[in-house]
Structures are given as structure tokens and as C-alpha cells.
Structure 1
């Protein structure tokens, strides 16, 4: 990772709201140069970019579209990223798997598991030697400790994400990139609901501390927002 703070470059995928929005803002506050993506421009992200004095810029991206990913790669050609962070997930309710339609299963798996890895595959060549690729995951993807009922499809999608990231890390073991899965905890976002015990403004600064401190490490780590390993 670059040693000069002014030149650190980050790309945050999925930053229109919630954790991604706060992540992009926190990185910019620490003098990173941040490119943040959203499906639709406007709103708080665009306002933050306007007030950032050039530290934050916005790109349009529908993450599930390979064509839009390719177009983003073309627009960013020549950039060298110190951090590529993928933040995206959906939840379609607390249904037992027998009540999940094929269309719902496909939608959640494409968004939560397939698309984040497509992003890494499409954009990882923009990441500088010694840079970091990271994906927002969840302890809900933990297979060994899945002992409570509920949210079966969401849990399965995060377990699939973790497995795909493990495969990606194995296949790219010699690329020199730090690879991280981050569990942010249960936050009060649209996904986490209004009764969650944490807020993004509480959890994101420690997560950025982790991203900065882990830079240059080898192998894949699955860490929570305290920097502690999460069981697989």
C-alpha cells in the first residue's frame, strides 16, 4: 500500500447508503481518494462527494451487470487502487428454505455471492501490488455455529460468498494482495433493521483501522469489526 496518505486510492462498490456510504465517507475523511459506486446517482453519497474537496467521486454501477462492470473497468483504466472494497447484500425475509421461490433464491445468490466475486475478477488488476481486496460478509455465513433458526437463504448466500472468496484467494495466492472478509456485526441499516445494536458510524471507523493495519499481510482473513477472527 502507498505510504503517502494523500495518494491512497480506494474503490468502494455499493456506497449509496448504510455501511458502504459511511465507509466511503470515513476513507475520504482520512484523506484517501475514494471512488464510490451507486446504482443511481444523487442522494447523500452525491452530497458527500460535493463537500469532499475532491477526495470522493461517484461512479454509476449495477454490480450484477457484467457489461457495466466492464464499462467501469474501462473508465478506471490506468488507476492504481490501494483498496478495492465490495459492499453489497440483500435479504428477502425470514422464510424457511422450502418457501423460497427459485427466482428469490437466484436473486439473493447472484447479489450476495456471485456478483461480489465477479467484481473482484473484473477489477482486481487495478489493485496495486501490496493493495487490499475486501468483501463485506457476515458471521451469518458461519457454518460451524449455525445453531439458531432463521434467515436461511441469507445465511446460505453468505456461506457461499465466503467459500467463493476462499477459492479466489487460493487461486490468486501469489498476486501480492491482502484479502479480507469483514463481518461488520448487526447494524441499524435497511438490511439490519431498526432494532440492531450497532450503527455504521460506530462500526466503520474500526473497520477502516483494520483495513489499514492489515495491508501487506498474506492469505485470506475473515475478521469482525474488532479485528478478531470469525469462525468459518
Structure 2
């Protein structure tokens, strides 16, 4: 009988939501390959026979290609690019140094797509390629302002992911952009609405329900569709 165990690649799993997703999918019986930019003691604590830990920085093209070389024999039902930054997110755009603004854009909007391009051939038929987006990336829902550079980077990620899906539409996998909710993490802060477990449980439910669904969708952790 063929092995029916699902296989996930979680990119950016050293802490917060990425770490929570690894733990959730392991609990649900998935095999998981988790990446870290540098050694993560919290991730190491989860090590089981079903977990493989790799080190790679999504902003480093050579490291991403090398990671692909190490993992190219595998097929993943889920490739989820979680990694992102929110440097000087509270500052208005004109107060953010140009190099900082550019790096946020590269890490949040460019590197995830470049990673997906390299790893597209590892997504199993009927699988999903997911990106960690945000409701802040919705242009239509921006009625409060704030987080200007971060918002713009996530809106750019959404646009780039739609273009990625169009270019790869003949491939047998779907593309998801997921808003995790406002979560009590280092990025979200102590006053956020929900805890990590609520967010990652919801996102895992959405992913499992949508495995095999073609096209691109922009959803929150409850499965609700968000306005672009």
C-alpha cells in the first residue's frame, strides 16, 4: 500500500507561527521539513522521526538552491513560506530609511516568490503552495492606515503570488495566501486578539480542506475570503 502520510515543508519555522505550524502538522500525523535561518532551540525541542530541520535564509538565493538540492528527491503536499519581517513597521513610510524599506520589500514580497519558483517542482500533484500574507496586504480593506511599509510589502506579495499562480496554472497544485489573524507573537504583540494555537490550528484546517483545490485564494485563518 502506498504511503498516505502527508509531507510538508514549512519555511521560516524557528519561532512564532512557523514553529506553531510545525507542531500542529506533526500532531496531525504529517511528516515535516522545517527551515530555520539560524539554530532554533525551540524547533530542536520538537525533533522526532517525522521532523527534519534544515537551515536556509530565503534572502540568500544560493542557500535556497542548495536546500532544493538536498530536498529534490521529495514531494511535498504543502510548501508554506512563512518567513517575513516587520522592521520599523510602525513608522510612516517617509521615516523609514530607504535600505530598510527595500529590505522589508525584498524579504516579504520578492524572496517568497523566488523560493516558490525554485521549489515548484517539489509540490506534489493535488498539493498547495502557501504564502503567509496578512489582512494588512488588502488594499480594499485599508481604512485605518498605519504599518505602511509592511502593508505595501504584503500587498506586493499578494500581487506577485497571483502572477506566480498564472504562470504555473498548468501545474497540478493550488496557491494560498493566508492571513493568520492578529496573533500574540513577537511581531503581533501582547495585545493581539488570538494566541498562536488558535491561529495555526485554523490555518492548518484551511490548508487541509483546500488540498487539491486549483487556482489562488486569499483567506484568513477561519477560511473567510479577504478582499484584494
Identify the TM-score tier after normalising by the shorter chain.
over 0.9
TM-superposed CA distance for 1:7, in Å, is 2.3
Quick one: distance in 2 between partners of 1:22 and 1:154?
A: 22
Secondary structure of 2:127's counterpart equals: strand
Please report the RMSD computed on the Cα atoms of aligned residues, expressed in angstroms.
1.4
Spell out the pairing of 1:83-122 with structure 2 (5 A cutoff): 83-93=78-88, 94-122=90-118
User: What is the match of residue 129 of structure 2?
Assistant: 133
Q: Output the TM-score relative to the length of structure 1.
A: 0.95
User: Stretches of 4+ moved more than 4 A in 1?
Assistant: 3-6
User: What is the match of residue 9 of structure 1?
Assistant: 7
Spell out the pairing of 1:198-209 with structure 2 (5 A cutoff): 198-209=194-205
Quick one: distance in 1 between partners of 2:96 and 2:40?
A: 33
Deviates more, 1:189-198 or 1:161-170: 189-198
TM-superposed CA distance for 1:42, in Å, is 3.5
Quick one: distance in 1 between partners of 2:198 and 2:80?
A: 19
TM-superposed CA distance for 1:231, in Å, is 0.6
- Residue 182 in structure 1 maps to residue 182 in structure 2: no
Secondary structure of 1:187's counterpart equals: coil
Give yes or no for contact 1:82–1:131 (8 Å, CA) kept in 2: yes
Corresponding residue pairs, total: 227
User: What is the match of residue 138 of structure 2?
Assistant: 142
Give yes or no for contact 2:184–2:196 (8 Å, CA) kept in 1: yes
Describe the shift of the 1:122–1:217 C-alpha distance in structure 2 as closer, same or farther (beyond 3 A): same
User: What is the match of residue 82 of structure 1?
Assistant: 77
Describe the shift of the 1:6–1:129 C-alpha distance in structure 2 as closer, same or farther (beyond 3 A): closer
Describe the shift of the 1:5–1:214 C-alpha distance in structure 2 as closer, same or farther (beyond 3 A): farther
Quick one: distance in 2 between partners of 1:14 and 1:178?
A: 20
Q: Output the TM-score relative to the length of structure 2.
A: 0.96
Pairing partner for 2:52 from 53, 57, 72 = 57
Quick one: distance in 2 between partners of 1:70 and 1:58?
A: 16
